[in-house]
Amino acid sequence: MQKKIVILLILIMVLTGCTKEKPSLNIVVDGKVEPVDTEIIYNHKDAIVFPAVVRSSGAKPVETEYKGIELTKLFETLNIDITNYSKVTFNASDGYRIILNVEEITEPSNVYLTFERDGEILKSKKEGGNGPFQLIIRRDPFSQRWVKHVNEIILQ
């Protein structure tokens, strides 16, 4: 009887472990797909917390705090010189996509890749969240271009 319970518990642990996807992000530079070590994002020394007003359809605007890394700083860490490019495409796992000019990204304190909201790691789409990574454009008060579930960044 006890043995059965132990086996059942192990089975549950294995199954839940398998269904929980690891956050992933790819950067495409010069046509080459480079997976980003997500620990670089989570542990970045320049990650900051900033206030943001979230406007989600069918809900009142909510004042929140996001934590994230300014995109220019992430590119610096990855040794990518963004000034060699003109456009950056952000793709999300649900097919959503936006394209930004490099000038908009290099505007100081504007474009952030975020991973925490109000002190909690962003949940994936599957878990009902906006994450695991969400692009936030702080100078864009309407959040159409705040890309939820970003999983690919293409430099062109």
Ligand X SMILES: Nc1nc2c(c(=O)[nH]1)N[C@H]1C(S)=C(S)[C@@H](COP(=O)(O)O)O[C@H]1N2
Phi-psi region of 79 (alpha: psi -120 to 50; beta: other; left: phi over 0): left
Enclosing H/E stretch for 99: strand 97-101
Give least dist CB 37 to ligand X, A. Answer: 23
Give least dist CB 153 to Mo ion, A. Answer: 21
Q: Would you give the binding string for Mo ion spanning residues 115-144, x where CB under 5 A is met?
A: -----------------------------x
Give which of ligand X, Mo ion, none residue 44 binds (C-beta under 5 to 8 Å, depending on kind): none
Give least dist CB 61 to Mo ion, A. Answer: 13
Q: 98 burial class (0-12, 13-18, 19+ CB within 10 angstroms)?
A: middle
Give least dist CB 143 to ligand X, A. Answer: 4
Q: How many helices (H) and strands (E) does the chain have?
A: 4, 10
Q: Which is nearer to ligand X, 21 or 81 (CB)?
A: 21
Give least dist CB 119 to ligand X, A. Answer: 20
Cβ-closest position to Mo ion: 144
Strands 48-54 and 32-35, sheet pairing: unpaired
Q: Which is nearer to ligand X, 77 or 143 (CB)?
A: 143
Q: Which is nearer to ligand X, 19 or 57 (CB)?
A: 57
Q: Are 121 and 132 in contact (CB under 8 A)?
A: yes
Binding region for ligand X (CB under 6 A)? 55-57, 92, 94, 96, 143-144, 146-149
- Distance CA(137)–CA(61), nearest Å, equals 16
Q: Which is nearer to ligand X, 43 or 144 (CB)?
A: 144
Phi-psi region of 40 (alpha: psi -120 to 50; beta: other; left: phi over 0): alpha
Which positions lie near Mo ion, rule CB under 5 A? 144
